[in-house]
Amino acid sequence: MSYIDRTGHIRKFGGDIWYVNTGTGDDANGGQRPNDAFATIGKGILDAAAGDAISVKAGVYDEAGLDMSLAGLELWCESGVFIVDTTPGTCLVVSGNACVVFGAHFVQAGAAGLQVTGVGTIVENCISVNCTVGFDINEHSTQLFRCVAAGCTVTQFDIGERNTVLRNCFAAGTGAATRGFYLSNAVVMRCLLDRCDSVGNATAGFEIVTGASNNSLANCTSGGGDGDVIDEGTETSLWVEDHDSKERHEAITPMPNGEGVAGNPINVHSQVADETGIDSTMNYYGDAAILIAPGTITTEWLFLGVNLFAITASDDQRFHCYRIVNLLTATRNGGNAWNAGATALTVQSAAEAALFEVDDMVWIRTPGYKPNGEIVKVTDVTGAVITIARNVENSGRTGLHWNYTTNDGGNEVMYLAERESSERYHETQFDYAAASAKDFHSNQWTFPRRMSRNDGLVVRMINGTDAANSQCGITTVWSD
């Protein structure tokens, strides 16, 4: 409680306290004693000064245009204070900086409950029911503690600005196409959601839009009736126990469907080729092979492991599996050919190029000409130009392997495949060796890898035994 300390005593307050009582008050009163209270919150706001507090008696307050526009203003609501605006309009706007709202209950169909447009607002023990948006956060450094949004028809908590903190908040939908917790701004947000829970929000219990980066969701749960968690942002620490985490089924890709569609394992080998031929097969990566193409799995999913089918026996095979990050991509600028030997790759804009960093591993492909593409390393990012280098063979040749622009111009795409500075974007490494060509091994990770929707997987292999071509069949084990 913002105005009572932990011993239960009313703390000293530096400003004036104004009293509101819809049952016995009158806006003609003085408003500074409980028995001389105003009748409306609006009158309290009108007479208050910056840094004052308004103490509200239980009751229903149907008032239009309520706006806490004064810096440092605090609103203390007894249990049973209902704030509505049947015009209809937003129940309460907080546009002043460093304001506090405690204990209010917002109810208004067709309008928002609480809208924050002031910096540094603190909201405690508030409830928003049956509104369009329960809590609409539009300014930075807002803190919400122990708040509930329920039955709101669009979003329970819309978090649209940076440095917002929510702790112990609950979002209850009605099973309709609503969102629980929605990080809705495509900027570096750095928000924290801690011990926040959602149920009954069919679009998503938790959704992070593309471009909303550097957020942390800790100890959260998405319960029954929620849609899948949607994380289109980057650099998010996401600890959300999904509503059906104990009911997930495992899938294998590729898998025959029993209706005439083959599901042969993906063949991966230790040879690497380009427009000029094939290079050494020993101690250098072979060609990349797609395990799951980007855009194949359109929900959040878990990469659980791989099944390995021996083709070449008695070789030590070392595998590198890369997460293809569908959110971090760049496409070719029309004036720059991405052909064999090219090292300076111009993309559409400096903003696209800025998605990549020096030492990133990137996957470059065109779907029509070379769908398996190739893995190369970023050595420089300047403006809209990304400079790359090979790291896959000992030929001395440089630049790209293939004539992408010549053979499939207009479809060239670069994806992030590995970033050493981010644990989320590390590659996955594993080993395999077989005594015969019929050996099989299922390799399940100790910790499944969380993948965003539309992410893909590619793999490449080194023969660590001899200079001959080594091959293996692979399928992917995953869970949606």
Reported as a single tens digit per residue, the pLDDT across 270-318 is 999 899 888 877 888 899 999 999 999 988 899 999 999 999 999 999 9
User: CATH code for 328-417?
Assistant: 2.40.30
The third-level CATH classification (topology) of the domain covering 17-241 is Pectate Lyase C-like (2.160.20)
Which one, of 148, 134, 64, 68, lies nearest residue 101 by Cα? 68
Phi-psi group of 257: left, alpha or beta (phi > 0 → left; psi -120 to 50 → alpha; rest → beta): alpha
Cβ within 8 Å of residue 178, ≥6 positions away: 152, 153, 154, 155, 156, 200, 201, 202, 203
Supply the pTM of this predicted model: 0.74
Each residue's pLDDT tens digit in the chain (480 positions)? 444 554 555 567 889 999 999 999 999 999 999 999 999 999 999 999 999 999 999 999 999 999 999 999 999 999 999 999 999 999 999 999 999 999 999 999 999 999 999 999 999 999 999 999 999 999 999 999 999 999 999 999 999 999 999 999 999 999 899 999 999 999 999 999 999 999 999 999 999 998 899 999 999 999 989 998 888 888 888 888 875 554 568 899 999 988 888 999 999 999 998 998 888 778 888 999 999 999 999 888 999 999 999 999 999 999 999 999 998 999 999 889 999 999 999 999 999 999 999 999 999 999 999 999 999 999 999 999 999 998 766 667 789 999 999 999 999 999 999 999 888 899 999 999 999 988 999 999 988 898 988 999 999 999 999 989 999 999 999 998
Contact present, 94 and 121 (Cβ < 8 Å): yes
Neighbour tally for 233: CB within 10 Å: 23
The amino acid sitting at 71 is A
Residue 125 to residue 104: CA distance in whole angstroms: 7
Contacts of 184 (CB under 8 A, 6+ apart): 155, 158, 159, 160, 209, 212
112-167 residue pLDDT tens: 999 999 999 999 999 999 999 999 999 999 999 999 999 999 999 999 999 999 99
Domains 17-241 and 328-417 share a fold: no
Please state, in angstroms and rounded to a whole number, the distance separating the CA atoms of residues 472 and 267: 6
Structural domain boundaries in the chain:
17-241, 266-321+424-479, 328-417
CATH number for the region 266-321+424-479 comes to: 2.60.120
How many Cβ atoms sit within 10 Å of the Cβ of residue 338? 27
Query: Chain-wide mean pLDDT for the chain?
Result: 92
